[in-house]
Amino acid sequence: MIIHAQQPIVEVHDLTVSYARKPVLWGVDFTLPSGCIAGIVGPNGAGKSTLLKTIMGLIPPSSGYIKLFDRPVDEVRSRVSYVPQRESVDWDFPVSVLDVVLMGRYGKVGLLRNTGARDQAIARDCLDKVGMAAFAKRQISQLSGGQQQRVFLARALAQESDIYFMDEPFAGVDAATEQAIIGLLREMASAGKTIIVVHHDLQSARTYFDWIILLNMRLVAAGPTDQAFTDETIQQAYGGRLNLLSQVGDVMEKRAFPSREN
Amino acid sequence: MHSLIDFFSFSDPNVRYVVVGNVLLSASAAMVGAFILLQKKALVGDAVSHAVLPGICAAFLFSGSKNTAFMLVGAFITGWLALVAIDYITAKSKIKKDAAIGLVLSVFFGVGMVMMTYIQQSGNAAQSGLDHFIFGKAATLIGSDLIIFSILAAVLLVVVGLFFKAFTLVAFDRPYAQALGYPVRKLDLLLTSLTVLAVVTGITAVGVVLMAAMLITPAAAARYWTDNIRRMVGIAVAFGMFAGLAGAYISYTAPSMPTGPWMVVVSSAIAFFSFFFAPRKGIVPKLYTQRRNQRIIAEENTLKIFYHLGERTGHFNGMRHFNELTGAREVDKPLLEATLKRLVAQKLLISQGDQWGLTDGGWRKATRVVRLHRLWELYLTSYMNIAADHVHDDAETIEHILTPELERELEAQLGYPDKDPHDTEIPKI
């Protein structure tokens, strides 16, 4: 069940990604319409984060390509935000909350110039949107998990992009933060932003997302939630790995075989 | 004292060279070192500083003289090769990074020592003093060297200043930097080159082996004093400069003393001091806070004894004998005595020989602690579904830390109650 968008803003074309020659994603191919909240859903080890990192150009694909706004990602980075997993950074780093949010402006100001008063104002405004305005001067090690996630979100907002890729923004946050975040995402989507969220909770996925990408090393389903997110597709995605797929991957790793002939 | 005045008048041109050279090199090393530390690459600095030795020896063999410019080029090349080797081994083999660093460090330094020995036994007259590059001798700094070091240090300071923001971003959140389109690999390359450059500026004065310490120690010490990266780099630079100055002074007063080791000793002393005494993060302030908390707990518990005796007997302001107090609550007697004396000093108790009684202030404080205890017990039973016979131990701790604001909120949430879960009265002040 793969339904393509009419005028896609995100296009992932026949994407295969490998770690040390072992494919972790096979021939993933889907499109997303603009202004939707899309959930990338699948069991542990399905390759959800890998897919996001590959779209952002952090991992080179073995084959296939990605287009955002019909162009390669390197050409449109100023219009794309990325929220990495919260655990991926050292929260004991000597910077304040405001410093972190200001990093969202670094793409706009460029490599050598410093952020200015306008960037400060935008950063504070974004902190306000996630309900963290009072914490601007706080050192980041003093934040709770939910607050850390809000700070990351504010940093992405400060980029003022059109597409937002978020890796597990609901992992390890309290219910209040989760509701606050989803409310904010809905607001952004109704303002025409496109939001792609890696998520692992099946219960809430149905209500949070209007587009679903169901993944388990290969694409199981993609499309509007009511059509792509059915008991049948969920069963396919969660019913266990395709054993043969894993075995072929192991053989490729062992023999250092390329995933394409040339 | 004379030497101090002589030294700081800078009338001797040699002293000027040494001081300026030392201060410049330690400042630039500390600045680069701060970012190496934050990127968790401290061991890499160590490897580089050892790996420049074969480059220095090769430059000598090639040029036949101790020309500083040649030495720097040679050092730069092998320092750089070492980093490339570490990256290559880590990426292409099963050897992990720490092992690769250890491997590269010892192989490069070993080769350097072999070359050094060969040169020393070759009978070349120009070689005398080459071994200073291992441990450094600031006294050998001359005017022309100083110009080279000043230029290098200035380049380092300017480049780090320019890329401050980018280095911070890469150190904090590498994938995000990449996602923003920052040239992360090129920035790595730049920081690597700066590291080599910083080590190279120190080879004459500090020596290759100890330059690693001048990179990392000031930054590690500075991390104890602040949570702000700009301030941290500034403090690291200040620590480095102080160590440089102190090293120069010591080797000036005792000319047989090598400069490098003294600079390292001074900066290590700063690091030790920071480790033990830095406010909040140091060991001693932490111990002090713990001790203070213990005292507060002991004092408040003692006041509670008086309150409970008061409740039992119906009067709060009588004098109590020491034995009466120890009978009411299981306490360590010497501790109780010490605490009673402190409470008297704080005017919360009055004493007459072996008799002790609450003052007005003491009564208020005792009441408040008991009140907080009972409020918290009630909160635990009504909001957290904990059985009434399980709440006492929790409340024993929480009663000491609740602030007046929390107290008001607690009271409001519980609806201004009169009785705790054991049906005892919650006192009001």
Q: What is the pLDDT along chain A (262 residues), one digit of tens a residue?
A: 788 888 899 999 999 998 877 888 989 999 999 999 999 999 888 899 999 999 999 999 999 999 999 999 999 999 999 999 998 999 999 999 999 999 999 999 988 889 999 999 999 999 999 999 999 999 999 998 889 999 999 999 999 999 999 999 998 888 888 998 999 999 999 999 999 999 988 888 999 999 999 998 899 999 999 999 988 888 888 876 666 777 777 788 777 777 776 6
The vertex-B66 CA angle with B61 and B71, nearest 5°, equals 75
Number of helices followed by number of strands (H, E) in chain A: 10, 9
Residue pair B38/A99 in contact by the 8 Å Cβ criterion: no
Confidence at residue B140, expressed as pLDDT on a 0 to 100 scale: 67
Average pLDDT over residues B80-103: 90
Per the CB < 8 Å rule, is B227 touching A74? Answer: no
The residue ranges of every structural domain in chain A are 8-86+162-254
Instruction: Output the CA torsion sign for B417, B422, B425, B426.
Output: negative
Q: How many residues does chain B have?
A: 429
Chain-centroid distance of CA B331 in Å reads: 39
User: How would residue B108 be classed by pLDDT, with cut points 50, 70 and 90?
Assistant: very high
The answer, for A114 touching chain B at a CB cutoff of 8 Å, is: yes
Instruction: Give the residue from A21, A58, A66, A102 with the most B CB atoms within 10 Å of its CB, the best one to mutate.
Output: A58
The answer, for A79 touching chain B at a CB cutoff of 8 Å, is: no
Tens-place pLDDT, residues B222-254: 999 999 999 999 999 999 999 989 988 887 787
Per the CB < 8 Å rule, is A141 touching B227? Answer: yes
Residue pair A100/A158 in contact by the 8 Å Cβ criterion: no
Confidence at residue B382, expressed as pLDDT on a 0 to 100 scale: 86
Confidence at residue B390, expressed as pLDDT on a 0 to 100 scale: 87
Confidence at residue A240, expressed as pLDDT on a 0 to 100 scale: 63
Average pLDDT over residues B96-108: 93
Confidence at residue A243, expressed as pLDDT on a 0 to 100 scale: 67
Chain A residues whose CB is inside 8 A of the B168 CB are 95
Chain A residues whose CB is inside 8 A of the B175 CB are 53, 56, 58, 82, 84, 88
Q: How many CB pairs below 8 Å do chains A and B form together?
A: 75
**Average confidence score pLDDT of chain B:** 87
Interface of B with A in 111-170 (CB under 8 A): 162-163, 165-166, 168-169
Average pLDDT over residues B345-356: 89
Which one of A151-160, B127-136, B279-288, B333-342 scores highest in mean pLDDT? A151-160
Average pLDDT over residues B399-418: 88
The answer, for B335 touching chain A at a CB cutoff of 8 Å, is: no
The answer, for A103 touching chain B at a CB cutoff of 8 Å, is: yes
Q: Output B13 or B353, whichever has higher pLDDT.
A: B353
Domains, in order of start, for chain B: 2-281 (1.10.3470.10), 283-429 (1.10.10.10)
Is the confidence at residue B176, as pLDDT, over 80? yes
Q: Name the strand (E) or helix (H) holding B215.
A: helix B208-223
Q: Which residues of B137-165 are buried (b: 16+ CB within 10 A; e: fewer)?
A: bbbbbeeebbebbeebbeebbebbeebbb
Nearest residue, CB atoms, B162 vs list A77, A90, A112: A112
The C-alpha atoms of residue A59 and residue B277 are separated, in whole angstroms, by: 45
**Architecture in CATH of A8-86+162-254:** 3-Layer(aba) Sandwich (3.40)
The answer, for A82 touching chain B at a CB cutoff of 8 Å, is: yes
Confidence at residue B139, expressed as pLDDT on a 0 to 100 scale: 66
The answer, for A71 touching chain B at a CB cutoff of 8 Å, is: no
